[in-house]
Amino acid sequence: MRIKCPYCGERDLGEFTYLGAANLKRPDPAAAGAEDAFFDYVYIRDNPAGPLAELWYHGGGCRSWLRVLRDTRNHEIESVELAKPEAGKP
């Protein structure tokens, strides 16, 4: 498995660190039902067998956070993009 970093090109997996699913959003602690929302956010995972959007950190390269769409059944990577859009670009 190699990841094609938007800055650095295709690089070895050993340069990257895994965080987990990219769809997790920290809930608003002031909102109603925040306790349940935080429980879901911290502990509950979809854990799909199939395409999963996830966050990887390119610590051995450009130190960008990447959003990688990868199939957990065969490790095939469909797309890689910067987790945060670049300044000045849409």
**Interaction between residue 47 and another protein (CB under 8 A):** yes
Q: Which is nearer to another protein, 17 or 81 (CB)?
A: 17
Q: Round to the nearest angstrom and report the end-to-end CA distance of the chain.
A: 30
For residue 66, the tally of other CB atoms under 10 A from its CB is 24
For residue 32, the tally of other CB atoms under 10 A from its CB is 8
Among 52, 58, 64, 66, binds another protein (CB under 8 A): 52
Among 6, 7, 10, 72, binds another protein (CB under 8 A): 72
**Interaction between residue 43 and another protein (CB under 8 A):** yes
Q: Which is nearer to another protein, 55 or 82 (CB)?
A: 55
The footprint of another protein (CB under 8 A) covers 1, 12-14, 18, 20-21, 39, 42-49, 52, 54, 72-75
